[in-house]
Amino acid sequence: MRRFPAIVLTSLLLVLPAIAEAQVRFGVTGGITSSTSNVRDFDTKSVSLYHVGVTMKVPLGPLALQPSLLYQMKGAALGDVIDGKSGTQFETRTGFVEIPVQVQVGFKLGPIRPYAFGEPFVGFGLTNKTSETLSQTLKDKWNDANIKRWEYGLGLGAGVELFGHIQVSAKYFWNFGSLVDDEQRVSASEIGNTVKEAFKEGRNFNGISFSVAFLF
């Protein structure tokens, strides 16, 4: 799975000649990202955040490529994370600069074009914050943690394009790999004795994303 980001970038480079010859359309996109995590030993809940950015559609007959550049917020809420303080909630929010590349398959039905898509993506984490339910000391320790900056994953979804200008879509996405590096600097004794291990061993964000794009 470590080769996944390289595969995504290589695939994008291979289609550059087709992009040069196609009727490329540019636009803006944004929406809601509802994510949670498959961490161990915690009662996890979803967190509704957001994504926003720019996009580019490259029509190729019934296919279309649509790479985007997004600022993507993902997170999860974990309950009972502090020893001896039942009910304390730990909510993590990580902001990524993300490059998803949609591969769409669809057909025009008059002014409407329904489509399905697969969407590999890579990203780099810029921000790492936690909830205000923790003390400032614990928040500072988590915010300085050694969160793994690179992310990669896959989304599957469907959408509809209206009049060639408006896209409404929904997808389910999976992040692959672990959220934290092996040398996580958050003290387990200060933020629950399993938080450090909970985000290792392939534990990461997954969830549902709803987007609206406007093409010019």
Alpha helices in 40-161 (DSSP H): 136-143
pLDDT, tens digit, 9 for 90 and up, residues 23-49? 899 999 999 999 988 766 667 788 899
Under the banding of pLDDT at 50, 70 and 90, the label for residue 125 is: confident
Cβ atoms of residues 48 and 33 within 8 Å: yes
Query: What 8-state DSSP symbol labels residue 38?
Result: -
The backbone torsions φ and ψ at residue 175, rounded to the nearest 5 degrees and listed phi first, read -90, 135
- Classified as helix, coil or strand, 53 is strand
- What's the whole-number mean pLDDT along residues 72-101? 76
Query: What 8-state DSSP symbol labels residue 177?
Result: S
Under the banding of pLDDT at 50, 70 and 90, the label for residue 106 is: very high
pLDDT, tens digit, 9 for 90 and up, residues 126-177? 887 776 555 565 566 555 555 667 889 999 999 999 999 999 999 999 998 7
- This prediction has a pTM of 0.80
CATH class of 4-158+169-215: mainly beta
Tally the residues of the chain: 216
pLDDT at 112: 97
Going by C-alpha positions, the residue among 103, 119, 111 that lies closest to residue 160 is 111
In angstroms, the CA 33 to CA 201 distance is: 23
